[in-house]
Amino acid sequence: MNRTSLLALQILVAVVAIALWHVLTKYPVCGLSYFGAEKDCATILPPFFFSTPLDVASRIVRWFVEGTIWKHLWITLVEAMLAFVVGSLAGVLIGFWFARKPMINAVFDPYVKMLNALPRVVLAPIFALWFGLGIASKVALGVTLVFFIVFFNVYQGVKEVSPTVLANARMLGMSERQLMRHVYWPSALSWMFSSLHTSVGFAVVGAVVGEYLGSAAGLGYIIQQAEGVFDVAGVFAGMFVLAVFVIAIDMIVTLIEKRLLVWRPVAAMDTR
C-alpha cells in the first residue's frame, strides 16, 4: 500500500468516527426512553454526556483564537521536556553504573523493582506537598516515569553488547576506557534511543497527570477544570488538543531518531 492511500484510509477512520458521533448526538430518534427521559424523542447519545463534534470544534477554535490555550500548552511542554531531560540523564548515568558494577546492581536490585512496581499516581500528592503546586512537582512525577524506562534500557544496552564485538575490541587493543567510549556507550545509547518514543510519551503523561491532580495551568488543568463543572465539550476539547500535541512530539522524536540511528538496520529500528 502506498503512502497516499494509507493516509486516505487513516483519515477515513477519523471522518467515520466523527460523523457517527455527530449523527448520534444531533438527530433525535423517537420511541426511546432512558435516563428517565420524559420526551418520546431523544438523541441516542445525550449531548450533555457526550457533547457534539461541532461544540468541541468551536471550543478548540475559540481557545486558539483567544489565545488562552498557548500558555497551557507551553507549561505542559516545559514540564514534559524537563522531566524527559532529567529522567534520561539520571537513567543513563545510573543504568551505566549498575551495569558496570554487578555488586551495586545486586544490592539495589530488589529496591529498583519495588520502586518501579509502585503506581506513580500515588506519588503525585506527596510531590505536591514536597515541591508545591508549580512546575517542579509535575517534573518530579514525569522523572519517576522516564527514569525507569531509560534506566532499564541503558542497563540492557551495556549488558547485551555482543560478546564477539567485545572480544574483537579487546583484540584490537582497546583499554577499559576505550571500550567504554567505543563499545558500551554507543550500545547503551542505541537502546536508549530505541525507547525514545516511550520515554517521551511518559514524560507527557507525567506532566498531564500531575496537572490533573493539582495545579493552576497546563492541559491537565484545563481538562480537570472542565470536568469540575460538567463541561463535557471542554473535556473533549482538552483531550483532543492533548492528542494532537502528543502526535506532534512523536513526529519530532521520529525525525531525531532517524538522524541518530542511521547505522541501524530498518527492521530493528521499529521497536515500539
Site residues, another protein (CB under 8 A): 162, 164-165, 167-175, 178, 182-183, 186-187, 190, 262-265
Q: Which amino acid is at 272?
A: R
**Cell numbers standing for residue 114:** 519495588
The widest CA-to-CA distance across the chain, in whole angstroms, is 86
Query: If we measure between CA atoms, which residue out of 146, 141, 140 comes closest to residue 91?
Result: 146
Q: How far is the CB of 167 from another protein (least distance, A)?
A: 6
Q: How far is the CB of 260 from another protein (least distance, A)?
A: 10
Q: How far is the CB of 92 from another protein (least distance, A)?
A: 16
Q: Which is nearer to another protein, 78 or 169 (CB)?
A: 169
| Contact assessment for residue 195 and residue 146, using Cβ atoms and an 8 Å cutoff | no
Whose cell is 530488589? That residue is: 110
Q: How far is the CB of 247 from another protein (least distance, A)?
A: 29
Q: Which is nearer to another protein, 136 or 180 (CB)?
A: 180
Count the neighbouring beta carbons within 10 Å of the beta carbon of residue 10: 10
Distances (CA, A) of 138 to 90, 127, 142, 189: 17, 8, 6, 26
C-alpha span between 63 and 236 (Å, rounded): 13
Q: Which is nearer to another protein, 2 or 175 (CB)?
A: 175
Q: Which is nearer to another protein, 250 or 257 (CB)?
A: 257
C-alpha span between 152 and 250 (Å, rounded): 21
Distances (CA, A) of 204 to 23, 55, 150, 207: 33, 26, 15, 5
Q: Which is nearer to another protein, 110 or 265 (CB)?
A: 265
Q: How far is the CB of 76 from another protein (least distance, A)?
A: 34
Distances (CA, A) of 46 to 22, 53, 70, 98, 230: 11, 13, 31, 55, 13
Q: Which is nearer to another protein, 187 or 224 (CB)?
A: 187
Q: Which is nearer to another protein, 162 or 254 (CB)?
A: 162
**Cell numbers standing for residue 213:** 491532580
Q: How far is the CB of 208 from another protein (least distance, A)?
A: 35
